[in-house]
């Protein structure tokens, strides 16, 4: 089974500063048939379901602020929040779809 490992487990960032979350897959999630990385990012706030932010590793879902960006390919991926806002406090998950869906363990983002 593919293992998804996020780092760090938590981070505290000052308002307006950049937050970076990493996600590493134990095997490549690049699907050769369409040359897409089958990797998504979600934001989950307490008491709410996850919200899709990014799919295909770098495509922002409709309505998601452009301060959220995804990058990476193969086995290493990054979610960047370019200028942290108070409403971005949440747990963030990566998820691969190369095999049956597997989520990372989550990264908690707080305000410093």
Partner 1 sequence: VQLVESGGGVIQPGGSLRLSCAASGFSVSRNYITWVRQAPGKGLEWVSVIYGGGDTYYADSVKGRFTVSRDNSKNTLYLQMNSLRAEDTATYHCARDLIIGQSRTGAFDIWGQGTMVTVSS
Between 101 and 111, whose beta carbon lies closer to partner 1?
101
- Output the smallest distance, CB 80 to partner 1, in A: 18
- Output the smallest distance, CB 8 to partner 1, in A: 15
Could you say which DSSP state residue 61 is in? P
Query: Rounded to 5 degrees, what are φ and ψ at 52?
Result: -70, 125
Between 16 and 49, whose beta carbon lies closer to partner 1?
49
**Which of 52, 58, 67, 82 is in the footprint of partner 1 by CB under 8 A?**
52
Task: Count interface residues toward partner 1 (CB under 8 A).
Answer: 26
Does residue 89 interact with partner 1 by CB under 8 A?
Answer: no
HSE on the CB side for 90, CA within 13 Å? 21
- Output the smallest distance, CB 14 to partner 1, in A: 26
Between 55 and 68, whose beta carbon lies closer to partner 1?
55
Instruction: Report yes or no: 101 and 3 within 8 Å, Cβ to Cβ.
Output: no
- Residue 33 burial (10 A CB sphere; 0-12, 13-18, 19+): exposed
Query: Rounded to 5 degrees, what are φ and ψ at 50?
Result: -60, 150
Residue 64: both structure tokens together: 């998601």
Q: Where on the chain is the footprint of partner 1 (CB under 8 A)?
A: 34, 36, 38-40, 42, 48-52, 55-56, 61, 93, 95-98, 100-106
């Amino acid at each position: 089974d593919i293992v998804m490992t996020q780092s760090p487990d938590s981070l505290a960032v000052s308002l307006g500063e950049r937050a970076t979350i990493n996600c590493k897959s134990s095997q490549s999630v690049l699907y050769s048939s369409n040359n897409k990385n089958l990797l998504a990012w979600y934001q989950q706030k307490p008491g709410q379901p996850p919200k899709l932010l990014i799919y295909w590793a770098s495509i922002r879902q409709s309505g998601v602020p452009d301060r959220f960006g995804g990058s990476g390919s193969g086995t290493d991926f990054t979610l960047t929040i370019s200028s942290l806002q108070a409403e971005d406090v949440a747990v963030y998950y990566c998820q691969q779809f190369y095999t049956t869906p597997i989520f990372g363990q989550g990264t908690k983002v707080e305000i410093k």
